[in-house]
Structure formats: C-alpha cells, structure tokens
Amino acid sequence: MRTVTRLAGFAVGLAAVFGATYGIGRVVDPAPVAESQHDGAAAPTADDRNATADRLPGGLLVSERGYTLEPVDAPAGEFAFRIAGPDGRPVTRYEVAHDKKMHLIVARRDLSGFRHVHPALAPDGTWRVDTPLGGPGQWRAFADFTPTGGEPLTLGVDVTVPGELTERQLPAPAASTTVDGYTVTLTGAPQPGRTSPLTLTVSRDGRPVTDLEPYLGAYGHLVALRRGDLAYLHVHPDGTPGDGRTRPGPAVTFLADVPSAGSYRLYLDFQHGGRVHTAEFTVVAGAATTASVPTPSGPAPTGGADHGTPGHGHN
C-alpha cells in the first residue's frame, strides 16, 4: 500500500511543520522567538538553522536572514514601510521579480480583504502606496521581494486597523467562483509535501476567455495563504507568455507546494480587458488525513491534474 506508507510519512512531516510554524505564528512578534528557540535548544549547527529556515513557508517572520520589515508612519490613506538590511540601514536596491521590485500583499487574519499592490520606492528606501487595507480588522501585510545580492524573501507583519470589525467565516471549498462577470473554475487539489498542478479556467458569459493579458509576466498570479497562521505560499505559473507553449487562456496552470494539510485560500489575479481581477477559492489540502477516510469508490485516484472534480471528498 504505497499510499498508506506515504500518508504515514507525511503525517510525521506535518507534525514537524505544524510544530514549528504554529508555535511561531501564535506569537505577536515572531522574530525574537525564532532566535531564542534556536539559541536555547541544544545548540544546533548553522546547517540546522538554515535547514529549518528553508522549510518554513514565507511570510511567517518579520525578520529573516538579516532583513526586517519595518512599517513606517504614513499619512491617512497611505501605507509605508522599509526593509532594513543586515547593516540596519534601509535597503534601496532590489531585483525585479514577476515584473516588480516589490509585491505587497495584504489580507485580514480571517483571510478576507486580499489585495496585491505595488508600492513605489523612494530614494531613502521607503516604500509607499495608497493603502490597500480595506477597513477595520487585524491585517497581515506581506512584502515579497529580492534584495540585490540576496535571496527572494517574503516577510510579514501584523497591522491593526481600529474600528468595528466583523469576523468573516472562511467560505466553503468550491470548484468555481465568479468575479467581475467572469467565472473561474479550479481543477486540481494541493497535496501536502509535493508539487501539485492547479489549473484555473476563465470564462465569461459561458464562453472560454482565450485572450488573457500578461500580468506580472504571466497569464495569472496566484497567492495562497494558510488558514490559522497565514503562511504565504509560493505558487509558480507553469509557463510564461511567449514561450511557444503557454496559451493566453482559458486555462492557466500553477505548480503549488503546500507544506501541510489544512485549509488554504487561493487568490488568482488575472488581467483581461485592461483590468486586473481577483478570483478567490478555498481549498483543503490533505483532507483525507484529517477527516474521516472516505469510502473507496471507483478507481483509485491517479494523482495530479485530474483531481478536483466537484465532490472529490474535500470539505
């Protein structure tokens, strides 16, 4: 039973990931805790520390590898921050990734209010943008960037917008959703611990959209946030415009690496008609390992892209 073996190994891996990320994610200021954990426990080697950092999903830490995300006081209606570098000074040199030097993603802790914006860099290293924070609540802001001479990083920080807030329930998993008159259908299911293809198919008025416009160097940009700690997941587009094989819709395929079972919210940005639209999905990874095991029926799943038909057992 290859599947059973894999699931068992998987559960052990999950415990490790959850143990690490949950402990950190629950603390107000994660960076010092991460350091004290490393310093306090049986003196891990530098290799151990690097290995741990490599396994952590992005966005859980406000400070990593010497770089720290520092919100800056800003006028009403504006959001501003800096990235302090290893020398303590604001970083002013960045590499372009996905068409931009800085991607700022925000979402409330209940996974509502997602926005993905691109701030402007001032010469002193301050990033400024019309605030994407859409009202009261506990927000998480993610800075996704590559400092010149460094590795890609996603740092995260909590931001509170005062006022009356209404916690929103996470919408139930669904195979399709609508946004701005478009219907977007998701096929594929993320499988913890391995790369899973997710395909999003865009239609409008019942007809496939075959003239998607490149956005951030791809026909779509997908961000996934994990419920509970808002781990920020890298989801890479499979193919780029102009590579001779990637078509401008209706289907856009991504390769997702989710680190654990659990619920995730997917946010697909795509451009059509000169405007960016965001379609949102709830997906549950590894449902069979946490819920009751579904009764086998029909042929065993073969894995991969043919998952994700409605009623696949994810709930």
Residues 43 to 72 in contact with Cu ion, rule: CB under 5 A: none
Q: For residues 82 and 103, which CB has a smaller minimum distance to Cu ion in the complex?
A: 103
| Cβ at position 153, least distance to Cu ion in Å | 14
Phi-psi region of 227 (alpha: psi -120 to 50; beta: other; left: phi over 0): beta
Residue number closest to Cu ion, CB atom: 103
- Give the interface size with Cu ion as a residue count (CB under 5 A): 1
Q: For residues 103 and 272, which CB has a smaller minimum distance to Cu ion in the complex?
A: 103
- The phi and psi torsions of 3 (rounded to 5 degrees) equal -60, -45
| CB-CB contact of 225 with 112 (8 Å) | no
Rounded alpha-carbon distances, angstroms, from residue 80 to 31, 42, 72:
21, 39, 5
Q: For residues 103 and 108, which CB has a smaller minimum distance to Cu ion in the complex?
A: 103
Q: From CA 18, how far away is CA 41, in angstroms rounded?
A: 18
| Cβ at position 222, least distance to Cu ion in Å | 11
* Helix-helix angle 30-40:2-25, to 10 degrees: 110
Q: For residues 103 and 314, which CB has a smaller minimum distance to Cu ion in the complex?
A: 103
Q: From CA 155, how far away is CA 144, in angstroms rounded?
A: 7
Q: For residues 235 and 287, which CB has a smaller minimum distance to Cu ion in the complex?
A: 235
Tally of CA atoms within 13 A in the half-sphere of 186 that contains its CB? 29
Strands 275-285 vs 262-272: parallel, antiparallel or unpaired = antiparallel
Q: For residues 103 and 109, which CB has a smaller minimum distance to Cu ion in the complex?
A: 103
| Cβ at position 157, least distance to Cu ion in Å | 17
Burial class (CB in 10 A: 0-12, 13-18, 19+), 165: middle
Residues 130 to 189 in contact with Cu ion, rule: CB under 5 A: none
| Cβ at position 100, least distance to Cu ion in Å | 5
User: Residue 98 in 3-state DSSP?
Assistant: coil
Q: For residues 30 and 237, which CB has a smaller minimum distance to Cu ion in the complex?
A: 237
| Cβ at position 241, least distance to Cu ion in Å | 16
| CB-CB contact of 220 with 237 (8 Å) | yes
CA torsion, ordered 101, 107, 112, 115, to nearest 10 deg: -20
Residues 86 to 115 in contact with Cu ion, rule: CB under 5 A: 103
| Cβ at position 119, least distance to Cu ion in Å | 10
Q: How far is CA 20 from the centre of its chain?
A: 18
| Cβ at position 50, least distance to Cu ion in Å | 27
| Cβ at position 97, least distance to Cu ion in Å | 9
Catalog residues that contact Cu ion under the rule CB under 5 A.
Answer: 103
